[in-house]
A = this chain, B = another copy of it.
Amino acid sequence: MSSFITFLNTLQPLSAGLTEAILASTMPEKLPAHHVLLRPGQVARRVYFLETGLVRGYTLLHGREISSWFMQAGDFVISILSFFTQQPSEEYLELLEPAVVHSISYDQLQRLYHDFPEFNFIGRRLIEKYYVLSEQRAQHLRSRTAAERYALLVRDFPTVFQRVALHHIASHLGMAPETLSRLRNKLS
């Protein structure tokens, strides 16, 4: 059985019909590192479930990449702004590692919501989960000093350091890579 069906079942047991409809709408896909799932100007048409791999969301600001978030195996990945509004994205979604993903289109998802009202329960719970994570990241950004923002990331999302390059983390923390390098040196 598909890994993400298993995952959805842990949120709420799926009826046979719903399980079948989900399987019919999705397919696993193996993608190489550096593959780009979405780029500015495109409308986000699909939501991705990561069975394995690592994805980064980022925007270009004055020619610089600003990383907004990192998602790993077991996570759902979308551009929130573009997918929910179905307007052109301003962000990139890029694989940092090779990945196995399952994806479903916006239209197919709306059909599932319509045909299986109980699926709205799952959708709602998942959106709540990622909304909470997003708010937590936003709250971190509001710390004024670089050292504080770094400390909060270490405290709340320590695993990110295991696989993400430091210059990506620096941009995520709103500081220059040099500043992060010096911070880490001083703290060790």
Q: Which residues of A contact B (CB under 8 A)?
A: 59, 61, 66, 68, 80-81, 84-85, 90, 113, 117-118, 120-121, 123-124, 127-132, 134-139, 141-144, 174
The verdict on A68 contacting B139 (CB below 8 Å), with A132-B84, A132-B85 known, is yes
- The answer to whether A174 touches B132, judged by C-beta atoms less than 8 angstroms apart, is no
A144 to B61 Cα, complex, angstroms: 9
The verdict on A142 contacting B85 (CB below 8 Å), with A117-B117, A120-B117, A121-B120 known, is no
- The answer to whether B84 touches A142, judged by C-beta atoms less than 8 angstroms apart, is no
- Tell me the number of copies of this protein: 2
A-B contact pairs, 16 of them (CB 8 A): A59-B139, A68-B142, A80-B132, A81-B136, A84-B129, A84-B132, A113-B124, A117-B121, A124-B124, A127-B127, A127-B128, A130-B131, A131-B134, A134-B134, A137-B138, A138-B141
Q: Which of B90, B127, B135 contacts A124 (CB 8 A)?
A: B127
- The answer to whether A80 touches B144, judged by C-beta atoms less than 8 angstroms apart, is no
The verdict on A174 contacting B142 (CB below 8 Å), with A80-B131, A131-B84, A132-B84 known, is yes
- The answer to whether B141 touches A141, judged by C-beta atoms less than 8 angstroms apart, is yes
A130 to B90 Cα, complex, angstroms: 18
Instruction: Determine the chain B residues whose CB is within 8 A of the CB of A84 once the complex forms.
Output: 128-129, 131-132
Residue of A68, A134, A139 contacting most chain B CB atoms (<10 Å):
A139
Residue of B nearest to A123 (CB): B124
Instruction: Determine the chain B residues whose CB is within 8 A of the CB of A137 once the complex forms.
Output: 138
Instruction: Determine the chain B residues whose CB is within 8 A of the CB of A138 once the complex forms.
Output: 68, 134, 137-138, 141
